[in-house]
Chain A
Amino acid sequence: MPSKEKHVSVKKAFLNAVNGFISILPTIIATIGLVGLFQTYITNSMLSHLFGYSDGLDILIGTLVGAISSGNGTISFVVAQGLQEQGVSLYALSAFILAWVTLSFVHLPAEASVFGIKFTTYRNIMTFITTIIIAFLTVMTLKLFS
């Protein structure tokens, strides 16, 4: 009976999804716990003191600071706005907001436990380099248009 087979398979699909979610629950809880600690100990004012060198160095700092920061993407824009008002270059800000959402040191253990150390290493190195390149290209392209 196809309808019965279909019903069983829906149940199986749902249980597999729940099962898969429960299996990574320790990773998720640990990551959330770590994000809570980072948000408490690494404040925005701490971050703003790190900039103010050459464009190249500021991009590197922007990428690193974005990578060690954590939280909702909205926060990255608010912090970036604050940094912009303090005179931080657009190169650094581009790198910062990109690294905030694409790189995260806090998420590294979770990513490695789910996808493996090799995948995590490759992806994060690529993303780190890409973030720096995009930051440069974005500001260079913007200069062409203005």
Chain B
Amino acid sequence: MKKLKFKGIKFLIVVIIIYIFTAIFDNANYSISFNTSLKILRSILPIFAFIILLTASINYFLKPKQIIKHFGRDGGKKGTLYAILGGILSHGPMYAWYGMLSDMKSHGLRDGLIVTFIYARAVKLPLLPLMIGIFGVTFTIIINIYIVLFSVLQGIIMDRLINKESPQ
């Protein structure tokens, strides 16, 4: 098992300090902020459980060599397709997925696919009816096609930028 190494301790300390200041100088808004945060945390707990199970499945079924093969530098269009589908189908806030992506990155997932995954998340399947209701069908189709196209483009650019700095 990998040694536990916490990420974001300094960030957490800064946020705690902000909350302490808010509690002292603006207690009413401190309570609202704290309760809002608790509400968010409660709402995404099931997503965390799902992500842990998904990460465990990836760890179990996809060995590092396979991750490198499909999602690494020489991974082809299949990796991009999976990144788009994964982004579109993923739910919950982006930061909830950082752990899984970081884990896959340590096994060879390329940066471009992370970028594609993150941008493709802008296609929100459950929210499409709402989007159609507000902006219309044509707008919804056009913007979502552009999101997918540009998610791929961003991934390609990111890989080129990274490869340029550390060519193999």
Contact = CB atoms under 8 A, between A and B. Distances in A.
Given A14-B56, A31-B95, A126 B8 contact: no
Interface residues of B, number: 73
A35 B19 CA distance: 12
Nearest to B134: A81
A113 B161 CA distance: 20
B52 to A, nearest CB: 5
A27 B15 contact: no
A57 B153 CA distance: 25
Contacts of A86: none
B62 to A, nearest CB: 10
Given A27-B12, A126-B115, A142-B139, A16 B19 contact: no
A29 B12 contact: yes
The main secondary structure of chain A at its interface with chain B is helix
A110 B98 CA distance: 8
Contacts of B99: 20-21, 23-24, 114
A83 B46 CA distance: 32
A36 B40 contact: yes
Contacts of A25: 6
Contact of A130 (B14, B44, B138, B154): B154
B24 interface: no
Contacts of B56: 10, 13-14, 16-18
Contacts of A24: 6-8, 98-99, 102
Given A17-B103, A27-B8, A107 B138 contact: no
A123 B115 contact: yes
B33 interface: yes
9 contacts: A17-B59, A20-B55, A26-B6, A27-B98, A33-B15, A34-B15, A37-B37, A40-B36, A126-B157
